[in-house]
Chains A and B, each alone.
Chain A
Amino acid sequence: MFVSRGALARGRPGSTSLLRSTGRGEVTEDPKESLEESEDELELELHSSNPFCSLFLFISASFMANTATRSFLQVAATEEATTPLRVVQIEGLVILKIIKHCKEFSPALVTGQLLGLDVGSVLEVTNCFPFPIREEDEEIEAEGANYQLEMMRCLREVNVDNNTVGWYQSTLFGSFQTVELIETFMNYQENIRRCVCIIYDPSRSNQGVLALKALKLSDSFMELYRSNNFTGEKLREKNLSWVDIFEEIPIKVSNSALVSAFMTELEAETPVTQCDFDRLQLSTSPFLERNVEFLIECMDDLSMEQQKFQFYYRNLSRQQAQQQAWLQKRRAENMARKNAGEEPLPEEDPSNPIFKPIPEPSRLDSFLITNQIANYCNQINGVAGQSFSRLYLMKALHEN
């Protein structure tokens, strides 16, 4: 672990700024305005690398010494309130980088790190860098951690926001809801207060839709996962169903003024862009076919999970019946003994195997599969809707 200091310089030259919000909603001013006001900014960064998942630990505590409102000690004493995350604000640069990385390696699945700032209810993502494809070897883990350290250090030297806010990954036809995703989320959540995962689907983007999604695990699900208890009772208690696992957060895109000026000039003069060509493509059957294939596979998995539950319930009821029978026998015995004047035997016998509680199968897998199926269905709906429009358009054109 090492501690380093540095001041982030961002934005207009000639001003130092620190964009970190603290305090119970007291930082209501726009962080960009506080450029001029804040004088004394420190940023402490603690780094430690977790060898198991090669993650970064960034705990940045920032203290804004704005003597007009409150004293230094007061600020240090107030706790950070967690305002709920409402919007993820991505820069155009990040989108282009993600697309480039995912497309280059498609169909292989790739991941990368997101960097940015956490401001109030908005999570700003201002830069990102890709991860190299990781081998399964254990010794490469250290290399991966080194790569991350190196990249973060280098990016900090050019004043890029050096703060991990999550990661991105590419997916194939939307089948990203796996246990690994949840585990990665839990790992990140331990270290960073607010993190988000951005999912990009390159195959769907070929249809002309920008398939970018920002996901977060819902808080209630995270608590449940920590206790690792997915029995039906617990879930009913918490009123948690499969829709509640992942929370999708709306994405906003922002661009700096310079980039905006460039794009305005460089915008293609043609009235129709590549995007339109993709959207107006008539053949969607390969995409739909694969979607339905995946859907069928998932249904098979789901039915297997269902069978597990059925099995469990059948065993449970059988065990209950056995218990009842045994209890009856015991009671009869006790009656006989009471009549004979002897001590009644206890009505329970923990050593008897029929009293052993059967573990309930975890519902986590079935929830994840259900999520995937729902996703496929949504995609099919979307593409079918587009196809309808196209077919009617074709019909109208032909008639003319």
Chain B
Amino acid sequence: MASSERTVLQLIPSAARVSARVHPLVIFNICDCYVRRPDQAERVIGTLLGSVLPDGTVDIRNCYAVPHNESLDQVALDIDYHHNMLSSHQKVNPKEAIVGWFSTGFEVTGSSALIHEFYSREASNPVHLTVDTGFKNWETTIKAFVAINLSLGDQQLAAQFQEVPLDLRMVEAEKVGFDVLRPTNVDKLPNDIEGMEASMGRLLALIDDVYKYVDDVVEDRVACDSKIGRFISDAIASLPKLSPHAFNKLVNDSLQDQLLLLYLSSITRTQLSVAEKLNTAAQIL
């Protein structure tokens, strides 16, 4: 009897350690939505789309903003809009499903709990992403949360937002090149040769760094770290061991192949201009 009267405060832990992965497009989109928000809104709220990977990681790939009204005590979300956008997005990419929602702002607020509840009806265990556009601590704060329910016996008391590790996969942004994405104005896109030049410059800088490091270690200026040493030796060992003769032959063969292709393309272009002239030449009969 005593045990039935004692209710236990239960904290249901998450089954697996959830972590989230965010693609750069999502950040860009959120920033764009924030810049375009209506005048009276303090923050932007929207849906996150993506998929859940088999190991439990939530992969957030896309997002869209949802218009909402917020006042001191209540929050109203345009649910129809949310569903319309979802169906439109799924027409293009049926694999993207709702995985959570985002809001701009530094912390989780009271109204967030309500919105989170709404989203937990749409998706199981939604992830809440906060993107701090106010740069509160003079740094970027992008956090992801999952809600854990605190219940007292049968009654639900509160939802605790627990932070989960967030992995910002900037690989796609890297592919485009931060030089294109970072400044507010880029005058022209880098072409092949310029990009090549930049990459080679970076490689050269890296090699210089490694050189300096090895010199410093040899002259006892820097404490030696065997792990780094092993990395360096692995890298150097990965250069294939070819006799100079074989290597030269390899390089020259490749060079000749490329030259042949260049020659071929030049001939083709000449052929094209000749053909053009012939085609539109006046027919003298």
Residues of A near any B CB (own CB < 8 A): 9-11, 13-14, 91-93, 95-97, 99-101, 104, 127, 130-132, 147, 150-151, 154, 157-160, 205, 208-210, 212, 232-233, 235-236, 241-242, 250-268, 271-276, 278-280, 288, 292, 295, 299, 302, 306, 309, 313, 316-317, 320, 363, 366, 370, 373-374, 376-378, 380-391, 393-395, 397-398
Tell yes or no: B185 within 8 A of A by CB. Answer: yes
Flag if B184 contacts A256 (CB, 8 Å).
Answer: yes
A241 and B276 form a contact (CB under 8 A): yes
Residues of B in contact (CB 8 Å), total 90
Q: Tell whether A266 pairs with B65 under 8 Å between CB atoms, given A104-B93, A393-B200.
A: no
Q: Is B75 part of the contact surface with A, judged by Cβ < 8 Å?
A: no
- CB-based contact B28/A377 at 8 Å: no
Q: List the B residue with the shortest CB-CB distance to A233.
A: B282
Which residues of the other chain, B, contact A388 by a CB distance below 8 angstroms?
255, 258
- Give the docked Cα–Cα distance between A210 and B209 (Å): 28
A394 touches B251 (CB 8 A): yes
- Nearest CB to that of A251 among chain B residues? B189
Chain B positions 17 through 50: 1 when the CB is less than 8 Å from some CB of chain A, otherwise 0: 0000001110111011111111100000000000
Q: Are B38 and A159 in contact (CB under 8 A)?
A: yes
What 1/0 flags go to B231-267 for Cβ under 8 Å of A?
Answer: 0000000010010000100010011001101101110
Given A257-B184, A295-B268: A387 and B275 interface contact (C-beta under 8 Å): no
Considering only CB atoms, which chain A residue lies closest to B95 in the complex?
A104
Whether B195 and A158, one on each chain, are in contact in the complex, defined by CB atoms closer than 8 angstroms, is no
Interface stretch among B2-10, B114-122, B165-173, B212-220? B165-173
B152 at the interface (CB under 8 A from A): no
Alpha-carbon separation in the docked complex, A299 to B25 (Å): 40
Q: Which of B105-113, B156-164, B175-183, B221-229 contacts A (4 or more CB under 8 A)?
A: B175-183
Residues of A with C-beta under 8 A to B65: 158
Q: Would you call A292 and B261 a contact (CB within 8 A)?
A: yes
Of the candidates A14, A235, A382, the one whose C-beta lies within 8 Å of that of B39 is A14
**CB within 8 Å for A255 and B81 given contacts A276-B199, A397-B239:** no
CA gap between A385 and B282 in the complex, in Å: 38
| The 9 residue pairs across chains A and B that have the minimum distance between CB atoms | A377-B265, A274-B174, A273-B174, A253-B186, A265-B140, A159-B36, A276-B199, A132-B91, A93-B28
A246 CB, min distance to chain B CBs, angstroms = 15
Are the C-beta atoms of B196 and A320 separated by less than 8 Å? no
User: In the complex, A233→B32 CA distance in Å?
Assistant: 52
A317, B114: Cα distance in complex, Å? 84
State the total of A-B contacts with C-beta under 8 angstroms: 257
The CA of A251 and the CA of B190, in the complex, are separated in Å by 10
Cβ-based interface call for B84 (8 A): yes
List A contacts of B29 (CB < 8 A): 93
Output the nearest chain B residue to A309 by Cβ-Cβ distance: B279
Residues of A within 8 A of B183 (CB): 255, 260
B85 within 8 Å of A by Cβ? yes
How far does the Cβ of B250 sit from chain A's closest Cβ, in whole Å? 9
Main secondary structure of the interface of A (DSSP, over half): helix
B106 to chain A, nearest CB (A): 15
Q: Are B175 and A384 in contact (CB-based, < 8 A)? A: no
Of all chain A residues, the one with the shortest Cβ separation from B133 is A258
**Residue of B28, B191, B247, B281 touching A96 (CB-CB under 8 A):** B28
B198 to chain A, nearest CB (A): 8
List A contacts of B37 (CB < 8 A): 13, 158-159
Chain B interface helix/strand/loop/mixed = helix
The distance from the CB of A360 to the nearest CB of chain B, in whole angstroms, is 10
Given contacts A99-B172, A384-B258, 19 further A-B contacts (CB under 8 A): A10-B36, A91-B32, A96-B173, A99-B175, A100-B172, A104-B93, A154-B88, A232-B283, A235-B280, A254-B184, A278-B175, A306-B279, A377-B268, A380-B264, A390-B196, A393-B203, A394-B251, A397-B239, A398-B242
Min CB–CB distance B38 → chain A (angstroms): 6
Q: What is the CB-to-nearest-CB distance from A205 to chain B, in angstroms, rounded to a whole number?
A: 7
Residue of B at shortest CB range from A92? B181
CA A235 to CA B187, docked complex, whole Å: 35
For A259, give its contact among B32, B139, B190 (CB under 8 Å).
Answer: B32
Contacts A14-B39, A147-B91, A389-B200: A382 and B192 contacting too (C-beta < 8 A)?
yes
- Could you give 27 example pairs across A and B, Cβ below 8 Å? A99-B176, A154-B85, A158-B64, A210-B189, A235-B280, A253-B189, A259-B181, A260-B183, A261-B140, A266-B24, A266-B140, A268-B178, A274-B174, A275-B175, A276-B202, A279-B199, A306-B275, A313-B283, A373-B268, A377-B265, A377-B269, A380-B261, A380-B264, A384-B258, A386-B192, A388-B255, A393-B200
Complex Cα distance, B193 from A388, in Å, reads 11
Measured between beta carbons, the chain A residues less than 8 angstroms from B285 are 316-317, 320
Among B31, B61, B198, chain A packs the most CB atoms within 10 A around the CB of B31
The answer, yes or no, to whether B188 is at the interface (CB within 8 Å) is yes
| Contacting residue for B182 out of A260, A302, A383, CB 8 A | A260
Chain B residues near A132 (CB-CB < 8 A): 91-92
Query: For the complex, what is the distance from the CA of A273 to the CA of B170, rounded to whole Å?
Result: 10
User: With a CB–CB cut-off of 8 A, which chain A residues contact B268?
Assistant: 295, 299, 373, 377
Report yes or no: A205 in contact with B175, Cβ–Cβ below 8 A: yes
A131 to B93, CA, bound (A): 10
Do A255 and B280 form a contact, CB below 8 Å, given A13-B37, A276-B202, A280-B203? no
Alpha-carbon gap, A205 to B27, bound state (A): 22
Most interface-central of B32, B61, B247 (chain A CB within 10 A): B32
Contact of A391 among B38, B172, B177, B255 (CB under 8 A): B255
The distance from the CB of B201 to the nearest CB of chain A, in whole angstroms, is 10
- Contact assessment for A232 and B280 in the assembled complex, using a CB-CB cutoff below 8 Å: yes
